[in-house]
Amino acid sequence: MGEVPHVITAAPFTAVNMEPVFFRAQELRKLRTEDEGRLNNKREMAQAYVGRQAVNLFYQESTRTRISFELAEAAWGMGKSTTTEARKFSSASKGETLAHTVNVVEQYDPDVMVLRYDFVGGAAEAASLVKVPILNAGDGPGEHPTQAFGDSLTILEQLGRLDNLRITFMGDLRFGRTIRSLVYILSKCQNNHFDFVSTPDLSLSEDIKELLDSLPGITYKEHDHVSALTEVLPETDVFYVTRTQTNQGAPVLLNNQFRVTRATADLLPQHAILLHPMPIDRSDPSRSEIAPEVDEHPRARFYRQAGNCFYARMAILERIMEGKPVLEQAA
């Protein structure tokens, strides 16, 4: 059988070893939404893993990740039990440790555990304790590797490649776990250039900069003022924006210059795509990192990106249920 196929970090992900998931995710989308026999396909998929079970443990609020995992599990016919707001309302509120919780849940013989934790390292700790495959669904400001599958699939699908790209990241680069996971992937592809736009308080972590410094063929530049966008966006292929991760400990809000208006999005070339892992904060639309009018902008691919995360999760679950490693192994 080999090792347990945990998915904890995007660090080992490459364009090559992610390929089977990319391929299958695109196929699943077609089979479920475009194919003439789509309703039949959905029925057949829901008979695939009847009797297999998932436990979804969410210590932090989640909409996209939880709903898409729950629907992916149900789409394969799996049973499930989900804990939301585990920090507030589960035995964690009675002082139970993560270790005890996952050790107990393992006793119920689930086939996979999806874990969102509120501190870095939660998924890694769980994976060190149990033999059930752990899928990291976000560990505080740490990582979000299944999102990175969907993000990189969207780039591949829309631009045809993961290398030779100019990618501009803007927003909370320090506490945004999706950025860390995606940079791990794109930094291993040939000839990519990154522009990082943020305030000093929310700028890229030192360890990521050290990683990038160590990689030949990768270039990057940090910018602490939005005026840089005028220069970099016309050359950008992928513009990836995030909100301030106040719930992960970000100490300041980005000021309302670090936002995408129609004028900003118009700076992008025709072939470029604008991504955002969502949610987009609209509590004050005039400060939102994505101005409302940008939702309909021809560069925006937020929704497609969200859909790709769902199909990537279906593909990942399928490989786990089949006992296959999630990443293609070198021959």
Q: In whole angstroms, give the CA distance from residue 13 to residue 16.
A: 8
Q: Count residues contacting a copy of itself (CB under 8 A)?
A: 72
User: Is 65 among the residues known to form the active site?
Assistant: yes
For a copy of itself, which residue of 299, 310, 317, 320 counts as binding (CB under 8 A)? 310
For a copy of itself, which residue of 18, 55, 112, 179 counts as binding (CB under 8 A)? 55
- CB neighbours (10 Å) of residue 325? 15
Give the residues across from 83 on adjacent strands.
Answer: 57
Which residue matches tokens 């994976």? 127
For a copy of itself, which residue of 282, 324, 325, 328 counts as binding (CB under 8 A)? 282
Q: In whole angstroms, give the CA distance from residue 290 to residue 303.
A: 14
Contacts of 62 (CB under 8 A, 6+ apart): 84, 116, 137, 138
Inter-axis angle of helices 302-321 and 64-75, to 10 degrees?
50
For a copy of itself, which residue of 1, 94, 213, 330 counts as binding (CB under 8 A)? 94
For a copy of itself, which residue of 12, 20, 79, 325 counts as binding (CB under 8 A)? 79
CB of 234 to a copy of itself, least distance (A): 28
For a copy of itself, which residue of 5, 110, 140, 176 counts as binding (CB under 8 A)? 110
CB of 142 to a copy of itself, least distance (A): 18
Residue 233 binds to a copy of itself (criterion: CB under 8 A): no
CB of 194 to a copy of itself, least distance (A): 26
Binding segment toward a copy of itself, per CB under 8 A, in 66-74, 141-149, 159-167, 214-222: 66-74
Q: In whole angstroms, give the CA distance from residue 331 to residue 328.
A: 9
Amino acid at 18: M
Contacts of 319 (CB under 8 A, 6+ apart): 5, 20, 21, 24, 325, 326
Marked catalytic residue, from 65, 83, 146, 199: 65
Task: Find, among 300, 10, 245, the residue nearest to 147 by Cα.
Answer: 10
User: Is 43 among the residues known to form the active site?
Assistant: no
Question: DSSP H helical segments within 57-176, as ranges?
Answer: 64-75, 86-89, 98-106, 122-129, 145-159
For a copy of itself, which residue of 47, 270, 286, 329 counts as binding (CB under 8 A)? 47
CB of 104 to a copy of itself, least distance (A): 5
Q: Please list, residue by residue across 75-95, b when 16 or more beta carbons sit within 10 angstroms of its beta carbon and e when fewer do.
A: bbbbebeebbebeeebebeee
Closer to a copy of itself by Cβ: residue 143 or 289:
289
Residue 324 binds to a copy of itself (criterion: CB under 8 A): no
Binding segment toward a copy of itself, per CB under 8 A, in 4-12, 73-81, 118-126, 193-201: 73-81
Residue 307 binds to a copy of itself (criterion: CB under 8 A): yes
Marked catalytic residue, from 6, 29, 116, 297: 116
User: Is 144 among the residues known to form the active site?
Assistant: yes
Residues 132-171 that bind a copy of itself (CB under 8 A): none
Catalytic residues: 64-65, 94, 116, 144
